[in-house]
Structure 1
Amino acid sequence: MELFHMRVMQRQVLDQCKYLIKAAERINTGLAANDLDEVFFSIQNLLNAGANISKMLWGQLGKRAKEREALRASVNVADDSALREVTMRNNFEHMDERIDRWWVNSKQHVHVDRVVAPKGAVAIPDPTDLFREFDPTTTNVGFWGQEFNIQALVDAVQAILPALEAEAKKPHWIQ
């Protein structure tokens, strides 16, 4: 990867990291105010920023993983980083497809969505009837029984922020 290309990518990753941190802060604000709209708006934005970071570091569906190795190395991101995971974002982003699939496959058409409670607080016989959920005690976001820990994403971002900030400040012509 040419240096100027890398600097532009580093700056974009830095922007997305800042957005992810802001979204995490807004989740806490929404929780404190018992504002479900704020909580799920912020979760969705956090997941989107995380997916944008993933695309920068590995490419869409990991298609550019090899050519972006230098970018990941420049900010100390391992291939097993929480930043790579986009499945939960896909659940939120492709809600229309999830609803269509649920409609065809659900036996009872129970629809439970936007739950903020510890896991298991809402008894659902079929996990595909439980859409978006957030457990503030674990910071796990759930969808159809799948779980993703958003604190792991925040931690991964905070771990690379110092390197990203240092790299992004460098001119594009100096290694």
Structure 2
Amino acid sequence: MDMNVIGLHIHELRNQCRFIEASVDILNQSMENQAAVGAFFGLQNIMLGSNQLARMLWSPRKKGKERAAGLRQVLELPEKYPLNNENILALVDQADEANDQWIAQSKDQYILYDFIGDIANSRHKDVEPKNIFRAFDPTTKIYAFRGVSYNLDALLKAIADVSNRVNQIHQRLYPDQWKEVEPEAPVEDAAPAEDTKAAPKKTAPKKTPAKKPAAKKAAPKKAAAKK
């Protein structure tokens, strides 16, 4: 594969990893603020980013298999991998029809929709996983969507590994983008006024204990990227 083409794919893979990281922040902030819409927004974006990574690196279509294999070779990623999952790969395929199918199969069943909480210790404890349209259990870190359950911690750990490998290659291809920007020196007044009064001290607000995040950004192990 041409290095320019590889570079473009690596750049986009890095973007998707960064988008997922931002989505984890949104999820954690929303959970802390008990904002269900924000939490599901963050979860949806994590899954969409996972779908993008999966299809770029483990394309299920014949036309994309050569590209995917080439990128995996550069990143030294195996064929068998948590992101190479048929449910993740097909997450947005014919989404409208997938919704219709879920509605049809769950007819006359006890269903759960847009729930956040410990399902096992709730009044919904007997619901079958296949009848959950959308739910997040912060205790088990399981995100359920359209009858399929995803282990969020395991998923983010795999994404962190991909991100680490991608960053190593990206830094070699685009070193200028990784140079630290030197902070600007503070601007000083040439002739400060003699009668300037000192600003009153501000009382530091009391800090409240931080809540446990809903999702952790897994620290990736260093992987030897292929030169």
TM bucket by the smaller chain?
Answer: 0.7 to 0.9
Residue aligning to 2:189: none
Q: Note if contact 2:27-2:42 (Cα within 8 Å) is conserved in structure 1.
A: yes
For the 8 Å contact 2:111–2:131, the answer to whether it is kept is: yes
The residue aligned with 2:185 is none
Contact 2:130 2:148 in 1 (8 A): no
For 1:118, the equivalent position in structure 2 comes to 118
Three-state SS of the structure 2 residue aligned to 1:83 is: coil
Q: What amino acid is aligned across from residue 31 of structure 2 in structure 1?
A: L
Q: Point out the more displaced range, 30-39 or 70-79.
A: 70-79
Contact 1:118 1:136 in 2 (8 A): yes
Indicate the residue corresponding to 2:54 in structure 1: 54
Change (3 A) 1:92 1:73: closer
Q: For the pair shown, which has the larger CA radius of gyration, 1 or 2?
A: 2
Cα distance in 2 between the residues matched to 1:106 and 1:113: 12
- Whether 1:71 aligns to 2:71 is yes
| Correspondence for 1:7 | 7
Partner residue in 1 for 2:165: 163
Alignment: residue pair count: 172
Change over 3 Å in CA distance of 1:144–1:123 after alignment to 2: farther
Which residue does 1:138 correspond to in 2? Answer: 140
Contact 2:118 2:139 in 1 (8 A): yes
The unaligned stretches of length 5 or more in structure 2 are 175-226
Q: Which has the higher helix share?
A: 1
Contact 2:131–2:147 (CA under 8 A) maintained in structure 1: no
Unaligned regions of 5+ residues in structure 1, if any?
none
Distance change (3 Å), C-alpha of 1:139 and 1:65: farther
Q: Does 1:101 align with 2:101?
A: yes
Residue deviations 1:11-60, cap 9 Å, x none? 1111101111111121111111111101111111000001101111122x
Distance in structure 2 (CA, Å) of the matches to 1:19 and 1:3: 24
CA change 1:88–1:156 in 2 (3 A) is closer
Q: Deviations over 1:100-133 (max 9, x none)?
A: 2244333426542111122433145554432111
Between 1:154-163 and 1:12-21, the stretch displaced more is 154-163
Q: RMSD over aligned Cα, in angstroms?
A: 2.7
Residue in 2 that maps onto 1:33: 33
Give the distance between the partners of 2:16 and 2:28, measured in 1 at CA.
19
CA drift of 1:142 comes to 1.4
**Aligned residues of 2:27 and 2:43 also touching (Cα < 8 A):** yes
Q: Normalization by structure 2: what TM-score?
A: 0.65
Tell me the percent identity. 20
**Separation in 1 of the partners of 2:162 and 2:99?**
36
Larger RCO: 1 or 2 (CA < 8 Å, sep 6+): 1
